[in-house]
Each structure stands twice: as C-alpha cells, then as structure tokens.
Amino acid sequence: MSTKPLFLLRKAKKSSGEPDVVLWASNDFESTCATLDYLIVKSGKKLSSYFKAVATNFPVVNDLPAEGEIDFTWSERYQLSKDSMTWELKPGAAPDNAHYQGNTNVNGEDMTEIEENMLLPISGQELPIRWLAQHGSEKPVTHVSRDGLQALHIARAEELPAVTALAVSHKTSLLDPLEIRELHKLVRDTDKVFPNPGNSNLGLITAFFEAYLNADYTDRGLLTKEWMKGNRVSHITRTASGANAGGGNLTDRGEGFVHDLTSLARDVATGVLARSMDLDIYNLHPAHAKRIEEIIAENKPPFSVFRDKFITMPGGLDYSRAIVVASVKEAPIGIEVIPAHVTEYLNKVLTETDHANPDPEIVDIACGRSSAPMPQRVTEEGKQDDEEKPQPSGTTAVEQGEAETMEQDATEHHQDTQPLDAQSQVNSVDAKYQELRAELHEARKNIPSKNPVDADKLLAASRGEFVDGISDPNDPKWVKGIQTRDCVYQNQPETEKTSPDMNQPEPVVQQEPEIACNACGQTGGDNCPDCGAVMGDATYQETFDEESQVEAKENDPEEMEGAEHPHNENAGSDPHRDCSDETGEVADPVIVEDIEPGIYYGISNENYHAGPGISKSQLDDIADTPALYLWRKNAPVDTTKTKTLDLGTAFHCRVLEPEEFSNRFIVAPEFNRRTNAGKEEEKAFLME
C-alpha cells in the first residue's frame, strides 16, 4: 500500500454542465479512483458526465480539501499550467482561506519587500550577462541582487567590448553549456591574454576560446601562459613523462609554421644527412629532401636515438632548426650506442636562448660553412670541454701530429670535435683504450728527441732502421750483424777449411779494389765484418754495381761457354747466391740465433721469418695497432641482429666472461607453444 499522497482530477464534460471534481488520498491509484467514483455517485452525479480520472502534481496550498473528501469548487480557484500537471492560482482568484492576507508568506511577512532584497541566480540569464558578471571578479559570481542584475543589463552595452561580445555570440554553442565556475575561469584567463580586448583580433579571441575549451583541464593554465608569451598554440604537447614538450614558440622556421613531432623528425634526419654532405637547411634540394624522407622511413640509429631523445626532452620542440641540425651533425660518431651519452651531449650543446634568431655560428655549422666545434655549456666540473688538453712534455710536435692523425675518424668528412673520451661515464672499452694510449706514450718517450726534428729520420728510426744521430751505434743489434756472405766459411769445420783440395791450383782472379765502409770507415773486400749487414750508401751502391756486372757475365752465352770453373774465389762473397762448399754441394740453410729489426741480405724470406726475435713487419703491425683499434672503436657497428651473431655473442660471454653471462643473457626454459597455457607461461616469462 502506497503512503504517498495522490491527487486525482476528473474533468466534467461540457455538455453535462457539471463542475470538475478533485480528490486526494494516501492510497494507490486504483483504490483512489474507486473512492472517487463512489463519492461522485453518492453525491447524485453521473459518472458518464466525467472523463476518466488523471493524477497530477500534489499542490501545496493552504485551502487544500480534507483527505478523502471530494471538492467541486477547486477548479474555480486553481487551474493546470501548460505542463498539465502543476496547479496554479487563477488570475484574480483568491485562495479559500480565512488567513489569506495577500502577498505574504507563512510567517506573515510581505513577499514584495523580501523579493526586492532577494539574490537572483545568474545561471538563468543570457550569456553576455553571465560573461559580464564574471568580469573583474576574483571568485565565481552565482547570484546577484535585483539592482545588480539591472545594472548588468544597463552596463552590457558600455563595459562589454564589441569584439568580445561578437566573439561570445560566435561561440555560443561552446560557452552556453559551461557552468558558472568554468565560465569564470575562461573570463579570467581571457582577460589575462587580451588585457585590451578593444585592440584585439576577433579571430584570435575565438581561437583562444576553442583551444582553451578543447585543452585538458590541467593544461589550461599552461596554455594561458603560452598565449600570454605570444605563442598561439592550439594544444599542449606532453612528453612520455608528462613534461611540456614545447613547440608553441616562434623559431627560425617562420611565423605560422606548425612545429610538431613530424617536423622534428625531419630536422634530426637533416642533421644525420649533413654529416656526409653540405646542404642548405632552410632551402633543401629535392634530392636532399628525398634522402631525408628515406632516413625517416628506415628509422635506424643514429636518427632513431636522437629523435627519441628530443621527443622525451622537456621543451624539445622549442629549439630552432639550426641548433637541432648542428647538434646532430657534430655529434661524435658512435655515441648513439650508449643513449645516456647522447643525453649528456645534448645537455652540453643545447645552449640556445633566442630560438627565433639562432647564433650565426650555429647556422654556419649546420649548413657546412664552418668547421668550428659546437659551443658547449661551461660548468665548473667540465671547464675543459672546449679547451685543448695539454700535451705530455716528452712528446715532440711530430709525435703530436701522429697522435692526432690516428685519433681522427677515417669515415667522417669533418673533424670529430666531441671525442667519446670526454664523456663522464667511461666503459671498459674506453679504459682499455686509455691504457693502450698510455703504453704508446711510454714507448715514444724512449725515442730520443732532437731539435730541430727531421720527420723522415724519426719515421726511419721507428721502422727499425739505423739513422745517424738518432740510433745508438753501440747498440748490439747494429754491431752484432750477420755475416751472410761468409756463411759457408764460418759454418764449415776446421778440417774442411784446411782440406787438401785447397792446395789445388786455382784460376787467376782479377784483383778487386778495396771498398770503404761508410759506417766504420774500414776497407777490405765488399763486406765489413764489424758492421755486418749495416753498410753505408756508397758501399751498397758499389756492391750492387758489382753484382749486376757478375749477373750480366753469367747470363752471356759466350762467357758461359768459356768458363772453366763455375766456382771462383769470389763466390763466397756474393750476397745473393747460395752458400756452398768447394765440392759443389749446397750447404744447409742457416737459421740465425736472433733477428733484430733491420735490413738483411743473403737470407731467404723463410729463414728470416723463421728466426726468433721481432721483425720489422711486426714493428709496423705494432705501430698500426692503435690506429686500427681507434678506427674500430669509433666505426659504426652494424646492429642487425641475427641468430648466428646472438649465439656467438652468448658463447663468447659464457667462455670469457662467465660472471657477466647472467646479467646479459637469460636462459629461457622450453614452452609448449601449441597450448594456450604454454603461450601464457612464455608471455609471463618475457614480461618478467
């Protein structure tokens, strides 16, 4: 049973001439209708004279009839409103109440006086009135007095500028649904952006309305600040961490240019292309533009690494095109292998403050018109970033030039102005490189310097050759020598040297002139026993002339026919013929006990390399090793992942670095991928 009061009305038909009848009761609809029908019949009326009963809103008046009693006079005082549900007093009628005294409330107070001092809500007023009510107020205005409302209507034409009123009327569909609190914030921020709306542009005001209302609630304050700075941004771009990515300020790209993540990617790709060629960053050649699009499509390092760093950097869209291109162009080769180094590098070189007018030096670097290094932010910890490092006192100018030559990257057309060694975080490879450089400097100190220095002599000494004034004449490697010309005589036993065959008559040999050795000055024969293989230039020249004459005679057929003895007295002194005894048998090849760097004659290539010690080629390899190491260190590494490369890397780490294996590799168990459970287990394992 319902306890809610129910007010029923049965209208009388016009042809019946009966009055309408009402009844209210705290009962359900069927029971109340039955009660109403019973009372109508009981009063002597016919049910056919009335329409069916309808339920209306319960009226709140003082002359309400008693519950359960019908009233035929109710319609004389009250009538239904337009909604056909609410009762209202008829014009000119008075409630049937003995206590009714006109426009008074239940407390007997005159409502006319109360209504004059009553606050009226703003929400029901027109949009320009609501806008004007919030103007200049620190808090939202929800109600005003009757006099205040009249003042707003009067001041509407005077205090509300025409351009603002026009903008409000154009955006009524956006502004009308706003609550008073949101409308107050919009009016407040509009006054901040346009303090003099009379001098403002209608298009800018409407654009601000759209940008403000379309922005996220937390971004509206930041959007207002950007517009106050003159940056007409349509939205606030956020990084992955939630920081402001910027992009609304004026840059060298021109006014009206929409700088977003797409244009940022083109600038980074331009910097990558500028490493290999010079180009005009403000007027790209069609071929250059096509290559830039290809770099973006490939999405490979270093482009992908630098693009991601600019995207995640707070304010990364604020920088000019010139400094973005220059910073990517002048970055050290291979720095993208460690993304943390890229972040540190960008923090040092992104020193721009006037993004609309970048430094001309930065523009020249970006366009390839200057080879100067990128200016860096100077800090107390890194004041030496842009300064030259002092050279060791023991090194000469030529040695310094050699070191700089080895440290240059052979694959880059410009100088690497930001070496990786300047990074604060030095990995194990850098530490090994520093150790090798220290050993190289120690080796250079052992070479005595002499001013002025002859570069050719230094290079010859480094190759292991004897150089007058630099090499030590008393060094055993220069005086020990290897007498290859008399190898047969030296290695034969004493019995062979004094054999009876030596007493046989020998053919007469022409007396050879004595040749002086340029190294020690001694004369006698074509071989200096004290200097060994090291002879002067004149001794070399005379020896080679004699050898060429002997070869010419041997190659002459007439001389070959007239030769009676194939082995003459001078055979043992020929440095280019095999050592043999007098019986015609070839002696066994002699392998010397030690091989020192130098030039040797009369020794076969196999015997030379078979001997112990360090050869000249090995010295050359040692000299080239630092350069090859530095090239490999800075050379771009192919990052294409293959199964063979991964297995080789894992095997190498397992064998040589077992302690690092668990940190770098994960041995995955076997999963049954044919079942959903196995796939879920594999997915959970990969997520961990």
* The CA-based dihedral angle spanning residues 487, 489, 492, 493, taken in that order and rounded to the nearest 10 degrees: -140
**pLDDT at position 393:** 40
Domain boundary residue, one of 86, 106, 126: 106
Report d(CA 167, CA 205) in Å as an integer.
7
Burial label, 583 (beta-carbon count in 10 A; 0-12, 13-18, 19+): exposed
Q: State pLDDT tens for residues 255-270.
A: 778 788 888 899 999 9
**pLDDT at position 380:** 52
Domain boundary residue, one of 178, 204, 228: 228
**pLDDT at position 606:** 67
Beta carbons of 42 and 78 less than 8 angstroms apart: no
Instruction: Say if residue 494 is in the same domain as residue 598.
Output: yes
Quick check: is 233 in a domain? no
Quick check: is 238 in a domain? no
Beta carbons of 523 and 517 less than 8 angstroms apart: yes
Quick check: is 437 in a domain? no
Report d(CA 419, CA 634) in Å as an integer.
9
The model's pTM: 0.35
Q: What is the DSSP string of 265-276?
A: HHHHHHHHHTTT
Burial label, 303 (beta-carbon count in 10 A; 0-12, 13-18, 19+): buried
Instruction: Find the helix or strand (DSSP H, E) in which 522 lies.
Output: none
Report d(CA 141, CA 126) in Å as an integer.
14
Domain boundary residue, one of 228, 253, 287: 228
Instruction: Say if residue 483 is in the same domain as residue 595.
Output: yes
Instruction: Say if residue 214 is in the same domain as residue 335.
Output: no
CA within 13 Å, CB half, 543: 23
**pLDDT at position 446:** 64
3-class DSSP state for residue 263? helix
How many residues are given for the chain? 688
Instruction: Say if residue 131 is in the same domain as residue 214.
Output: yes
CA within 13 Å, CB half, 589: 10
- DSSP character for 420? G
Instruction: Say if residue 598 is in the same domain as residue 542.
Output: yes
| Dihedral (CA of 56, 62, 67, 71) sign | negative
Q: Which two tokens mark 256?
A: 């009206």
Under the phi-then-psi rule, with left for phi > 0, alpha for psi from -120 to 50, and beta for the rest, what region is 52? beta
Quick check: is 52 in a domain? yes
Q: Which of 124, 192, 135, 188 is nearest to 161 (CA)?
A: 135
Cis omega before residue 566 (within 30°)? no
**pLDDT at position 529:** 47
Look-up of token digits 């809103």: 57
Instruction: Say if residue 305 is in the same domain as residue 347.
Output: yes
**pLDDT at position 505:** 45
Beta carbons of 261 and 311 less than 8 angstroms apart: yes
Which residue stretches of the chain have pLDDT < 50? 98-101, 382, 384-426, 450-451, 480-512, 519, 524-527, 529-540, 542-544, 547-548, 550-586
Instruction: Say if residue 78 is in the same domain as residue 123.
Output: no
Quick check: is 247 in a domain? no
Q: Which of 105, 124, 122 is nearest to 60 (CA)?
A: 105
| Dihedral (CA of 127, 131, 133, 138) sign | positive
Instruction: Find the helix or strand (DSSP H, E) in which 79 lies.
Output: strand 78-80
Beta carbons of 288 and 367 less than 8 angstroms apart: no
Quick check: is 585 in a domain? yes
Report d(CA 32, CA 26) in Å as an integer.
8
Q: State pLDDT tens for residues 387-399.
A: 444 444 444 333 4
Domains of the chain: total: 5
**pLDDT at position 576:** 43
**pLDDT at position 539:** 45
3-class DSSP state for residue 23? strand
Under the phi-then-psi rule, with left for phi > 0, alpha for psi from -120 to 50, and beta for the rest, what region is 85? alpha
Q: Which of 235, 225, 294, 293 is nearest to 259 (CA)?
A: 235
Instruction: Say if residue 485 is in the same domain as residue 595.
Output: yes
Q: State pLDDT tens for residues 199-233.
A: 778 888 888 888 888 887 777 877 788 788 777 77
Quick check: is 622 in a domain? no
Q: Which two tokens mark 495?
A: 């019995």
Instruction: Say if residue 604 is in the same domain as residue 664.
Output: no
Report d(CA 609, CA 595) in Å as an integer.
9
Q: Which of 604, 566, 569 is nearest to 585 (CA)?
A: 566
Instruction: Say if residue 100 is in the same domain as residue 124.
Output: no
**pLDDT at position 677:** 83
Instruction: Say if residue 64 is in the same domain as residue 144.
Output: no
Domain that holds residue 265: 261-367
Instruction: Say if residue 125 is in the same domain as residue 150.
Output: yes
Quick check: is 380 in a domain? no
